[in-house]
């Protein structure tokens, strides 16, 4: 079976061209406060959108790059958020240190889950179930440990409110910077030997192993890295929002959206998370008045997406562009394969 080679990873694509999408996308996003900077609620929505884009990039690293179905994105973010809040508020740690430790906690949790999954050769279903069990258990932990986490009522996060993060517009730029960093990291991974290993093991695990790729190590690496990214975003959110509760990080609030966003944008693609996050933040806002239909709409979106457009928007558009270029006689543009490729009947 002939798969399109990921030429984006090929040595020789100039760095400027490779990172341009990151700069352009984040540049555009950074313009938003010009329109919404005056409204606190709107800034909240916009920040939420960028936050989810960050979550989605992390999930993209785990699932898009190495095919591990982690159904615990919310829990990983929650680990970051709650850990950072507790460490800084309760134990007086400086903000940066608290966030760093929180990131490490999330990264370790994710890495551990990956490691368990690869050691026991758990397939998609079992990885999904184990991570889901973790997510649900974490949720119950948050609810049950009242003294530590405030239980259902949630936790007010004071640390950070006196910094940039406490303002109305400034946190937005912090998040955009984070997103830019994440996207740059994703692109750097794609262009590196790590990215090559990821593609190899996604394509044919046994062949990759035989070619010398230590599949286990790369899966755990992806799990650790992606989880850390998700955790950091969660921690940052905790401090900028000033309040977190178990529902902030529940499966229904986070995981569902992240999966749908990434599926829409394009699993495995660079800008998929951004496109998906943008689309669904707008949709959520628009749906505010149709709250009863929310689940129905998301369910239908999932069905339509995975039946009709499993590659997502970005790769489909890239494919179209490539066909136009070829007709115009120009060389083909790079298109990276994704694990969802296998969902394509073609």
Partner 1 sequence: MRAVVFDGVVLGLQFGLLGVGLTLVYGLGGVLNLAQGQFAVLGAIVVALRIDAGSAVVPAVLTGLVVAGSVGLALDLTLMRPVYRRTGEDRVLLGLLLMLGVAFIIDGVLVWRYPIEALTLRIGGEPVDVLGVRMRTGSLLASAIALGVGAILVLFLRYAATGKAVRSVIQDEEGAQLCGVSPEKVRAFVFALSGVLAALVAVTRSMTSPVTVNAGIDFTILALIVAVVGGLGSVSGAFLAGILLGIVNTVSAHYIGTYVTTIVLLGAAAITIVLRPSGLLGAGRE
Residues that bind partner 1 (CB under 8 A): 69, 116, 120, 122-126, 128-130, 133-134, 136-137, 140-141, 143-144, 256, 259, 292-303, 306-307, 342-343, 345
Q: How far is the CB of 20 from partner 1 (least distance, A)?
A: 32
Cβ-based nearer residue to partner 1, 13 or 140: 140
Nearest residue (CB) to partner 1, 41 versus 345: 345
CB atoms within 10 A of CB 250: 19
Contacts made by residues 39-42, CB under 8 angstroms, sequence distance 24+: 40/168
CB of 67 to partner 1, least distance (A): 8
Dihedral angle computed from the Cα positions of residues 61, 62, 68 and 74, in that order, rounded to the nearest 10 degrees: -130
Query: Least distance from C-beta 47 to partner 1, angstroms?
Result: 26
Q: Count CB-CB contacts under 10 A for residue 254.
A: 26
Please answer whether residues 8 and 190 qualify as being in contact, where contact means their C-beta atoms are separated by less than 8 angstroms: yes
Q: How far is the CB of 151 from partner 1 (least distance, A)?
A: 9
How near is the Cβ of 345 to partner 1 at its closest, in Å? 7
Q: Which is nearer to partner 1, 32 or 259 (CB)?
A: 259
Rank residues 120 and 217 by Cβ distance to partner 1 and give the closer one: 120
Q: Based on CB atoms, which residue is closest to partner 1, 162 or 292?
A: 292
Angle ∠(173,78,239) on CA atoms, nearest 5: 40
| Coil/strand/helix, residue 156 | strand
Phi-psi region of 121 (alpha: psi -120 to 50; beta: other; left: phi over 0): left
3-state secondary structure of 161: coil
Chain mean position to CA 248: 16
């Amino acid at each position: 079976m002939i798969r399109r080679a990921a030429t984006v990873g090929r040595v020789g694509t100039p760095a400027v061209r490779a990172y341009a999408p990151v700069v352009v996308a984040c540049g555009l996003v950074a313009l938003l406060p010009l329109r919404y900077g005056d409204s606190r609620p709107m800034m909240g929505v916009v920040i939420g959108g960028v936050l989810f884009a960050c979550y989605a990039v992390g999930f993209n690293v785990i699932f898009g790059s190495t095919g591990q179905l982690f159904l615990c994105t919310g829990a990983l973010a929650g680990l970051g958020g709650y850990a950072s809040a507790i460490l800084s508020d309760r134990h007086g740690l400086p903000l940066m240190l608290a966030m760093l430790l929180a990131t490490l906690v999330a990264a370790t949790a994710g890495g551990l889950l990956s490691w368990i999954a690869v050691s026991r050769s758990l397939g998609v279903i079992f990885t999904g179930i184990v991570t889901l069990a973790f997510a649900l258990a974490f949720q119950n932990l948050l609810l049950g440990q009242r003294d530590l986490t405030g239980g259902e009522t949630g936790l007010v996060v004071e640390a950070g409110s006196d910094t940039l993060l406490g303002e109305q517009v400034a946190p937005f730029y912090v998040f955009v910077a984070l997103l830019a960093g994440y996207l740059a990291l994703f692109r750097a991974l794609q262009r590196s030997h790590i990215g090559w290993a990821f593609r190899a093991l996604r394509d044919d695990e046994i062949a990759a192993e035989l070619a010398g790729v230590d599949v286990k190590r790369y899966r755990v690496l992806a799990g650790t890295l992606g989880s850390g990214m998700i955790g950091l975003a969660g921690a940052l959110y905790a401090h900028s929002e000033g309040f977190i509760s178990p529902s902030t990080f529940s499966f229904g609030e986070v995981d569902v959206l992240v999966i749908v966003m990434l599926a829409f944008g394009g699993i495995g693609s660079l800008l998929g998370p951004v496109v998906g996050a943008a689309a669904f933040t707008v949709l959520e806002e628009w749906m505010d008045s149709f709250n009863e239909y929310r689940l129905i709409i998301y369910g239908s979106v999932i069905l339509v997406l995975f039946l009709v457009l499993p590659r997502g928007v970005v790769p489909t558009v890239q494919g179209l562009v490539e066909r136009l270029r070829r007709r115009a006689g120009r060389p083909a543009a790079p298109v990276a394969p994704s694990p969802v490729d296998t969902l394509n009947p073609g």
